[in-house]
A = this chain, B = another copy of it.
Amino acid sequence: MPDEARPGGITSAPFVDEYLLYLLAAVSDRASAQFHARARKAGLRVPEWRVLACLTDEDGAMVTRLARLSLLEQSRLTRIIDQMAEKGLVLRRPDPEDARRVRVFLTPDGRALATRLVEDARRHEAGVLDLLPARDAAQLKPVLKALLARLDGEAQV
């Protein structure tokens, strides 16, 4: 790869390099890309891995809830569930208490794959955190958790 050719035409004060939303997206992007390469080898695309991971935590979640957890739009999730069901990873069951609802469950195969990938993800995560000084690494997740809670709790800013 050649050097990151920076043309003469640079403007002035940097913006994106210092912009929180950019930093979040960029870090998420790069770090995730590393792991997603592994998920791919297990035959999963990114959203499928997300769904699998979320079901690890909340097996039997209803579609709407799962969509929110998985950071996916509902109609998209519906189609992803279709595909995962075809692959034998998940299973739809109507909610006995509310016939509008559909609950999504891991199949044994799905659970086995999820377990394997979650272990892998934990290892990968450790590797990412190792890139930071211990003090920073220790604080990052708690701060993000707090921020997420606030963002979810807030009215739109």
Q: Which residues of A contact B (CB under 8 A)?
A: 4-11, 14-32, 34-35, 37, 53-54, 56-62, 65, 68-69, 71, 95, 103, 105, 118, 121-122, 124-125, 127-129, 131-132, 136, 139-141, 143-148, 150-152, 154, 156-157
Contact = CB atoms under 8 A, between A and B. Distances in A.
A23 B141 CA distance: 7
B144 A7 contact: no
Contact of A59 (B10, B35, B151): B10
Contact of A20 (B60, B95, B128): B128
B11 A58 contact: yes
A21 B10 contact: no
Contacts of A147: 27, 31, 128, 131-132, 140
A146 B151 contact: no
Q: Which 7 A/B pairs are nearest by Cβ-Cβ distance?
A: A9-B60, A131-B150, A24-B28, A23-B144, A30-B151, A127-B157, A136-B143
Contacts of A23: 141, 144-145, 148
A67 B31 CA distance: 17
A34 B24 CA distance: 14
A32 B151 CA distance: 10
A131 B154 contact: yes
